[in-house]
Amino acid sequence: MMLAVHRVKAFPDFGRAEIGCFRESCASSGAGAKCRSRDAGNHSIFTPNRQQMPAVRTLILLILLLPLVGLAGPQVLLVKKGGFPVYEEIAAIVSEKLSTGCANSGDACSSLNVEHATLLDESGVADLFASPDLRLIVAIGLEPSQLLRDRTLNIPILFTLIPRAAFVEHGLDKVGSMHSALFLNQPIDRQFHLIQLIRPAGRNVGVLLGPKTSALTQSLASASTSTGIPIKIRHIDKDQEIGPALREILDDRQFLLALPDPLIYNRRHIHDILLFSYYNQIPVIGFSAAYVSAGALIAVYSNSVDIGQQIAEMIEEFVHVGQWSRLPMPAFPKYFRVAVNKEVSRALGFPLAGAEEIAQQLRKMESQ
């Protein structure tokens, strides 16, 4: 796929200093005629006044340096898919956080050259990845991750915003220090801690797992054992199985824990699942703020600022190590927040504390 590379260079602000002007008239006073300017007082347009000299010197220096700008390739390349504002936002946040975080570090991080590349079409990738200065590629989202996964690159890659199941499924967890990840999904333990905080006595948890989430079976069982919350799991292989499985696992007083599997929780089925759960008085634990807005009771999630902050921290750790080869270990989102649907809470007779209070309780549980 072709990549569009975006560079933003910061130049000094000259304020309103004038370093050139439009000719207004030329006085014909003999051989010594000088062209005068309307805005430059009585100075020739070729002769800056005393106040203009610092700006002119700076401009000359920049012009002399321009041939050198761009000779050094990116050290860190953020690769994202075009047309998705959330990816643009995350990339911008990463650059901003690196700029402030590295400014006073005094090591390689302080002079880090970070560039953005946007996927456009299917040609022209090789030249960009062949840059001798490139030390780290950060794939933001699933499609850039799939592109990079299929290429033979002797460069460390940080995959971000991909499900942990996809990372494991494609064997990326077995490549050692050359690959790492910041996963899209929240850790299962955090989900069960959330349920612990809001769960009335006697409520169990039902979970539907599809092909992309079936690998979570053991993690769910472990979380159930450690928290003492019973679970009922049903595996789904095709669309037609969703309805019967949903009725089966929700035949008694339970929560429905929704996990991001594209077979089950997609645009085609999301409304029916939420509606069925609502009419059967089953609270749904969602996996995004959007899911809560659509009718889930509550969700723990990470937004663009949370993800961008953590990506920047992982890059900083990679740079500070100084080896340019040892990536941080794969990680789930560290920063998170909680969304609560108060209307659903009232309708189900399920009173909840405020979202920030619940989030603080979750953070406290994880710090212990």
Which token pair is 350? 């399920």
Contacts (Cβ under 8 Å, ≥6 apart) of 56: 19, 48
Dihedral sign computed on CA atoms, order 46, 52, 57, 59: negative
Q: Give the count of beta carbons closer than 10 Å to the beta carbon of residue 156.
A: 21
DSSP state of 2: -
Confidence of residue 144 (pLDDT cuts 50, 70, 90): confident
The residue assigned the tokens 């079976």 is 217
- What are the strands, taking DSSP E only, across 34-178? 35-37, 76-81, 114-119, 136-140, 157-162
The DSSP symbol for 331 reads B
**Who has greater pLDDT, 132 or 180?**
180
Mean pLDDT calculated for residue range 77-88? 90
Domains, the chain:
71-184+306-321 (3.40.50.2300), 188-301+336-367 (3.40.50.2300)
Q: For the chain, what's the residue count? A: 368
- Could you tell me which of 216, 232, 134, 135 has the C-alpha nearest to residue 183? 216
Q: With contact defined as beta carbons under 8 Å apart, do 195 and 255 qualify?
A: yes
Q: What is the pLDDT of residue 170?
A: 72
Range in 4-8, 62-66, 301-305 with the lowest mean pLDDT? 62-66
Mean pLDDT in residue range 297-323: 90
333/319 Cα distance (integer angstroms): 20
> How sure is the predictor about 54, in pLDDT bands with cuts at 50, 70 and 90?
low
Mean of the pLDDT values across residues 156-185?
Answer: 82
Rounded distance between C-alpha atoms, residue 287 and residue 299, angstroms: 5
pTM summary value: 0.77
**Closest residue by Cα to residue 296 from 267, 247, 255:** 255
